[in-house]
Amino acid sequence: MSAAGTAAWSSPDVLRDPATGAWSGSFADLEIAGYHNPATGEVLTYFPVQH
């Protein structure tokens, strides 16, 4: 995982939805979102969010 993805996954404001596997967090001035495996906690994908 890249530095931005790792930082967003570990950020204090990260939100994880165990029902859908969706997650979002922040790194610097970027919002990063993606999907994870709720059973294992493994990040499957992530991408920057455009507002």
Q: What is the pLDDT of residues 2-47, one digit of tens each?
A: 899 999 999 999 999 999 999 999 999 999 999 999 999 999 999 9
pTM > 0.85: yes or no: yes
Say what the pLDDT of residue 1 is: 64
Q: Which residue's entry shows tokens 């790792």? A: 6
Residue 11: the pLDDT is: 96
The answer to whether 31 and 48 are in contact (CB under 8 A) is yes
